[in-house]
């Protein structure tokens, strides 16, 4: 698995390439958790992610909850059909806003921020 991080305006962008499973979740956690800060927004780009296991889903939920308690938000982009199905079956699709691509996700975050600020 490969993880790329960047920042667009005040939004943290995390790109996951490969599988997010029990073999890689610790690596992902070590990269993602230090990037969480108060009132920050994060886009997790899963376009290059082929598979997500229950360990990966736990990381998503933990990240979203931590951001939420700090006044931030986590959104997902680029989900393939298999990951969409997993999210739907597990009920996780109700917890996350998902977008077709990173651009749409960032645009939505910026619109939310301008409305509330």
User: Structurally, how many domains does the chain consist of?
Assistant: 1
Q: Any idea what the CATH number is for the domain that residue 21 is in?
A: 3.30.750.24
Please state the rounded mean pLDDT for residues 37-59. Answer: 94
Q: Within a 10 A sphere around the Cβ of 105, how many other Cβ atoms?
A: 25
pTM metric for this prediction = 0.91
| pLDDT tens digits, 72-99 | 999 999 999 999 999 999 999 999 999 9
β-strand pairing of 11-20 with 2-8: antiparallel
Q: How confident is the model at residue 10 (pLDDT cuts 50, 70, 90)?
A: confident
Tell me which residue range forms the domain holding 99.
Answer: 2-116
| Token pair 């651009």: residue | 103
């Amino acid at each position: 698995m490969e993880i790329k991080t960047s920042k667009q305006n005040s939004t943290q962008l995390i790109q996951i390439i490969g599988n997010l499973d029990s073999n890689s979740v610790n690596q992902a956690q070590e990269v993602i958790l230090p990037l969480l800060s108060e009132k920050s927004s994060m886009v997790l780009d899963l376009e290059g992610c082929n598979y997500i296991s229950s360990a990966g889903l736990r990381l998503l939920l933990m990240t979203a909850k931590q951001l939420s308690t700090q006044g931030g938000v986590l959104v997902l982009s680029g989900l393939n059909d298999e990951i969409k199905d997993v999210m739907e079956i597990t009920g996780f699709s109700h917890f996350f806003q998902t977008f077709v691509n990173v651009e749409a996700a960032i645009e939505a975050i910026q619109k939310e921020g301008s409305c509330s600020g």
